[in-house]
Amino acid sequence: MEQDTQDGAFDAALTELSHLTKSHPDLTVHEGAHPFTECATFADDIKDSVLGFQTPWHYVDQPYLDEPGTTLDDFDFTMPDVDVVDALTDLVGFLKGEKDATTSKYVAQIATYFPVESDQRSFTLRLIIHYLGDIH
């Protein structure tokens, strides 16, 4: 039974990914026959395009305090209002139906480029796959 559940989840993920492949084949041209694994570089592949808005979502930006006695007060640094942990929380919430463009700044930005929800979900899943790889 567990294998059936895993197969069902994998099939559902492939279905989600297929939407963007059909509507925006130019964005997914590198995915080939194995879109689930080959989309893992998607978020980096689009960084230099108009879709690069999601670039600061890839990480948690914070200073590295490597000298004894230094504190954040010693630097002109403000924590960004976006990061990979917050992005993943919202993006997963969106796929689960708990967030939308009115409740998530991340989904709202995606929606400005992809007004069709199936494309938003397909784009979102690609980002999640990539960001989990970044964290790993």
> In this structure, what token pair is assigned to residue 63?
């200073």
Mean pLDDT, residues 127-133: 95
Confidence of residue 2 (pLDDT cuts 50, 70, 90): low
pLDDT of 4 above 80:
no
Contacts of 13 (CB under 8 A, 6+ apart): 36, 125
Whole-angstrom distance, CA of residue 11 vs CA of residue 81: 34
Whole-angstrom distance, CA of residue 129 vs CA of residue 91: 11
Tens digit of each residue's pLDDT (9 = 90 or more) over 7-25: 788 899 999 999 999 999 9
The alpha helices in the chain, defined as continuous H runs, are 2-23, 35-38, 42-45, 84-95, 105-113, 117-135
Tens digit of each residue's pLDDT (9 = 90 or more) over 55-107: 999 988 777 888 899 888 888 878 789 999 999 999 999 999 999 999 999 99
Confidence of residue 29 (pLDDT cuts 50, 70, 90): confident
